[in-house]
Structure 1
Amino acid sequence: MLVYGCRAMREVVINDEDGAANFEEEIVFTKLKILYLYDLDSLTSFCSANYTFKFPSLEDLSIIGCPKMKIFTKGELNAPLRVNFYYGERDDQQPWANNDLNTIIQHLHAEKMGYICA
């Protein structure tokens, strides 16, 4: 899946139930192997609701040119332990340790903004 060039997009998956997400709701992308999020100036997260996301087949994840992205999702994220992950303004590969993508994105965003010295 490739999502790119939409300057106003804030989230890819939104909660359409007046902000009251069901904590047991699960969204599964069974066959998705590649997820590219490119040049999305206003993107702050993949989803701000508390959904559980499962990506059992994910191999590559790129988040490039999304300067406002601070977290992938507020809910739970399940993906394979070995995923090629790229983040930033270029396609520099970043580590994806312990399947905790939210922590990695938060750290990289803070580092980019100058809050953390690498």
Structure 2
Amino acid sequence: ELKLRLFVLRATCHQAVADAMAGVELGAEASLMKLRGSELQQDIAEAMVDALGLAGIVYDARDLAGMGEDPGFGPFEAPGILKDHLHGRAATIYGGSNEIQRNIMAKLALGL
């Protein structure tokens, strides 16, 4: 499902770029792409946390910076995935909250 959603988002972005380059006025596309992109980012990060389990828990900052001991289990890239997931939750806030983006799309669609 995540792969399909990413494919659709990429296709939407490519179409929006092509439309913009052709001089077509973009409406709610930017808000839609921001909304779908931030939600997809969160869902991918959540799936990674679920898949990694304990291996994704944040370790000592020295370990993350490569100055400490090797965590000893899980994939090399796993430490910090939970931190990245929690930080990524802010993606629905920066650039306009998802609720605001939905309002923008509704106003554009209804011509308000």
What TM bracket, shorter-length normalisation? under 0.3
Q: Which has the larger radius of gyration?
A: 2
Higher strand share: 1
TM-score, L = length of structure 2: 0.24
TM-score, L = length of structure 1: 0.23
